[in-house]
Structure 1
Amino acid sequence: MFLHDLGIVCALGGNKDEVLRTWLSGCWPQPGNVPWLATDISAYAASNELPGIPPHLKRYDCRNNRLLLAAFAQIEAAFDRAIRRYGSERIGLVLGTSTSGIAEGEQAAVVLQKSGSLPDVYHYKQQELGGAAEFLAAYLGIQGPAYTVSTTCSSSANALASARRLLRQGLCDTVVVGGSDALCRTTLEGFSALGAISRSRCNPFSKNRDGTLIGEGAALFLMSNEPFDIALLGAGLSADAYHISAPRPDGACAFLAMQAALANAGLKPEQIDYINLHGTGTWQNDAMESRAVDRLFSVRTPCGSSKPATGHCLGAGGAIEAGLCWLLLSALNEAKYLPPHVWDGQGDPELPRLGFVALEKTRSKRLQYCLSNSFSFGGNNVSLLIGSP
């Protein structure tokens, strides 16, 4: 299914040009404290100003939905063309999120503790996971299928696979698909309690890795059957259910997800030009992912993690990282540069060696197929294969 346009906002920037330019440069923002959250845990915040929620949808007013609007503004012209062509009944919406407006719920809880009642501006729809799709469907006037997927860190990658199924089943002609996650104390404190937060910028696949850093952002695509230069060629899903938060150590189900994405696209491992690794910088994820990648790909396959640049954007991560792959394949990357894998260069001797892209500017001889991995709590794994057909 073809990915006609992309809107993206994250710590790297507030539009496609800015995000791609900053990502390829390797000169990335530093994580820092988040002013609107009462915590000293560093994170990657989206730096741009966000649009407001219309008054008639104020019950959905939260940072998560404002991030969605910032992403949608970049694909609005393409969406308007789709509405005129197909009508609102034939347009669907699938979003992924894991936090929704939990930050607003946290702030309301503080007021409740102090005053004995919730603030007038608070509504449960702000933080309910399904509220993301309810809000955007109402804002856009979409009358086709509209729902939210929440599988923690693979949420919006699953949303892309779900949107593809809607189109293949003939239930829609176009789908607005992606995801959004806003920073909140629940995830920051939760990952900190797991001992999974890095003391500095995360350092994926290094022997010195000490955890990840949380980010926020949103990405939205317009997906349809109508031919375009970039498409979601394959999707591979697996679930190992090994542990509620730890991945299966041998990476067997991560391997199955990547293998299924390749088979779904009708491609071989040697045809992949770049792998955007899940690469959280946590001890267990990097270990299992490197083993899975090594089983399937050559050490010559270029790869890297974007999480030192964006932070781990949780439920939005799958869509944002698919968006980064879209940008690599787009006309915006005319010189076919590959993004650097920024780390300390100290490989873990207990793990297989992978083909990390060098810090110096690297160009691809052929940049046609990218694989993007999203691995989640509970072993919910998704690999997306994005390419130029």
Structure 2
Amino acid sequence: MASAGYGICGIGAVTGYGWGREALWNGLVSAKPAAILADGYGVAFDETAWVVRVPDGGDPEDGLSRFSRALRAAAREAIADAGARGWRPGRRVGLLHAVVLGDVDVQRSFHVDHHGTQSVRDYLALMPSTPTAMLMKEFGFHGPAMNVTAMCASGNSALITAKLWLDAGMADDVVFVATDLSANRDNVLHFAKIGVAVTDADPLDACRPFQDGSRGFVMGEASIGFVLSNQATDPYLRVLGGAMTHEAYHVISIEPSLTEIRNCFAGALENADVPASAVRYLNAHGTGTKQCDEAEATVLRELLPPETGVYSTKPLTGHCQGASAAVELAVAAMSYQRGAIPAPPTVADGLPGLLNGVTPMADGLTLKSSIGMGGHNAAVVLAPPA
């Protein structure tokens, strides 16, 4: 029998749809992509590019950059939400921050705009440990605190690490945040050169995960916060288990045999102690790139029931890189609570089982997969709250 797992009992969100988890949900159910046609992306993009950017906002006291403000806002919203759902922090609250590139705006300002001449305080803002230290100080948390980085699998990897801390008794509760606000010109340009980011077409036309004619993804940004604990009366869902593997193959490409992706999916089910037949939904990595979509579709056909519903929110939220899995975990959690999955509308022929638009949610488990650049794979098994 599967264990009861741990509950996600608080969610905070800052995305291209705005500041707050309600803005995320309302944007998704509208079926309108969060992307905008942004200026200032250089001649390679005819001076504009389709991109999902977190809008300005947040508390100026949280720092000069959108990154620091979004991180703190997502964490605060998640903690407040958990409190409203009956959570009371234990003695040892841990903190995990899933992050890949860090605060690119602060890096550029320090190294390029000011040539390293800013204050010591501004210099310390470059350190990846500084945001976690400031959050621990704000809330008086004293459990373990660290960053997790596994490219696009970072959110899933942070959730699995949080569960490991709870299993080991190292923490009573864990707050974890995933932040990526790196969709600036430099990064978008290089992902376009790699051939995976699309900048010249409407996202629903360009990014078609598991559908004919997909060209890749639109770059996105987000900061998502969660509280993982069993000390709450009204969790969104339960995390039963998960697994991580690494392909040890290539900095970009997926290993053709798909061995470690299979091992990751199967390992997550084994760790959760549930059969593949219990999975009702695959909340996919679903980038819209050929190799990622084909890899997930292949393992889906081999491992999961034929009636499994499949969806990816990347056509709507963009590919939020280090925060992508966390955005999609938040969508899964709110879907359990609200009884519907806000899948993007399909625009072409595609994979059997691909959800088309907002879909009533049936009982059953969700497998959330992530395939990170460089060979990082992570999958988690999610269950209804009761």
Unmatched runs of 5 consecutive residues or more in structure 1: 348-352
State the TM-score, normalized to the length of structure 1.
0.86
Q: Secondary structure at the match of 2:212?
A: coil
Distance 1:101 1:253, change over 3 A: same
State the TM-score, normalized to the length of structure 2.
0.86
Counterpart amino acid of residue 108 in structure 2: E
Deviations 1:133-160 (A, max 9, x none): 2332233222211000111111121111
Match runs of 1:167-246 below 5 Å = 167-183=166-182, 184-198=184-198, 199-200=200-201, 201=203, 202-226=207-231, 228-229=234-235, 230-246=237-253
Counterpart amino acid of residue 176 in structure 1: V
Q: CA deviation at 1:34?
A: 6.3
Deviates more, 1:321-330 or 1:194-203: 194-203
Query: Would the aligned equivalents of 1:249 and 1:284 in 2 still touch at CA under 8 Å?
Result: no
> What is the alpha-carbon distance in structure 2 between the residues aligned to residue 138 and residue 95 of structure 1?
15
> What is the alpha-carbon distance in structure 1 between the residues aligned to residue 82 and residue 34 of structure 2?
31
Q: Secondary structure at the match of 2:251?
A: coil
Give the structure 1 partner of residue 140 of structure 2.
141
Query: Would the aligned equivalents of 1:178 and 1:220 in 2 still touch at CA under 8 Å?
Result: yes
Give the structure 1 partner of residue 284 of structure 2.
277
Task: Give the number of aligned pairs.
Answer: 368
Distance 1:37 1:329, change over 3 A: farther
Query: Would the aligned equivalents of 1:276 and 1:303 in 2 still touch at CA under 8 Å?
Result: yes
Counterpart amino acid of residue 188 in structure 1: V
Deviations 1:22-55 (A, max 9, x none): 323323333321679997443101236222234x
Match runs of 1:224-303 below 5 Å = 224-226=229-231, 228-229=234-235, 230-303=237-310
Q: CA deviation at 1:382?
A: 0.6
Query: Would the aligned equivalents of 1:28 and 1:309 in 2 still touch at CA under 8 Å?
Result: yes
Give the structure 2 partner of residue 350 of structure 1.
none
Give the structure 1 partner of residue 354 of structure 2.
356
Counterpart amino acid of residue 374 in structure 1: S
Unmatched runs of 5 consecutive residues or more in structure 2: 1-5
Give the structure 1 partner of residue 32 of structure 2.
27
Match runs of 1:331-350 below 5 Å = 333=338, 336-347=339-350
The alignment status of 1:98 with 2:103, answered yes or no, reads no
**Which one of 106, 109, 123 corresponds to residue 107 of structure 1?**
109
Aligned-pair identity in percent equals: 24
Query: Would the aligned equivalents of 1:160 and 1:178 in 2 still touch at CA under 8 Å?
Result: no
Q: CA deviation at 1:121?
A: 8.6
Give the structure 1 partner of residue 3 of structure 2.
none
> What is the alpha-carbon distance in structure 2 between the residues aligned to residue 78 and residue 338 of structure 1?
21
Q: CA deviation at 1:84?
A: 6.3
> What is the alpha-carbon distance in structure 2 between the residues aligned to residue 161 and residue 308 of structure 1?
26
> What is the alpha-carbon distance in structure 1 between the residues aligned to residue 128 and residue 352 of structure 2?
37
Deviates more, 1:261-270 or 1:316-325: 261-270
> What is the alpha-carbon distance in structure 1 between the residues aligned to residue 246 and residue 142 of structure 2?
32
Distance 1:323 1:35, change over 3 A: farther
> What is the alpha-carbon distance in structure 2 between the residues aligned to residue 241 and residue 341 of structure 1?
33
> What is the alpha-carbon distance in structure 1 between the residues aligned to residue 223 and residue 241 of structure 2?
22
Distance 1:164 1:324, change over 3 A: same
Give the structure 2 partner of residue 314 of structure 1.
321
Q: CA deviation at 1:75?
A: 2.7
The alignment status of 1:386 with 2:376, answered yes or no, reads no
